[in-house]
Amino acid sequence: MSAEMVCAYIWRDDVAALPPFTPYDRKYLAGIVYQVWRACQVYVTVAMERGPRGARPALDELAKWAVAQRRELGPRSSVPSTLSGAALRVGRKLLTDVETISRRVLEMVAALEKASLPADQVEEQTLGMIEGVLRWTSLMASQLGITRHLRPHMLWYER
């Protein structure tokens, strides 16, 4: 299964029907995307040093972070009332997707590690999955109109 298949469920219809976000809304949503990018860079850095197995905690932590953040956006949360209803709804949906994708990529990495593939091929495929996650978050940022609040992110690593 490719990274594109993991990241295939994009909710364009929901995004198209949203009212414009406030500057605070855009900054908050950009923060979610930035956190995903950070976790992806941690994954790649650790994977290059210790292999994909050693990097799995980065994705696990991202999934746990998404759950905690989604809880913060719930009806009984202490989130400042400066977030609009649309931003709360999109934030919860985005965080649900981040958790789902993180868990699914973890499952795919575990399956690759069990397969009888050479280590460099496992590494290459897992890095491809992470690049797919980055493409998904960039697409989400573009659809949400928050790209101005983000600097382009590129994974880099040395072999």
pLDDT tens string, the chain, 159 residues long: the values are 443 433 334 444 454 556 688 888 988 998 999 999 889 989 988 988 888 888 999 999 999 999 999 988 877 776 657 888 888 889 999 999 999 999 999 999 999 888 888 888 888 899 899 989 888 888 888 888 887 766 655 555 555
Tell me how many domains the chain contains: 1
Structural domain includes residue 141: yes
Structural domain includes residue 89: yes
- Report the candidate in 146, 109, 112 with the shortest Cα–Cα distance to residue 23: 146
Quick check: pTM over 0.75?
A: yes
DSSP 55: H
The whole domain housing 51 covers 22-75+84-148
Phi-psi region of 145 (alpha: psi -120 to 50; beta: other; left: phi over 0): left
Structural domain includes residue 88: yes
Structural domain includes residue 17: no
Structural domain includes residue 4: no
Structural domain includes residue 10: no
Structural domain includes residue 113: yes
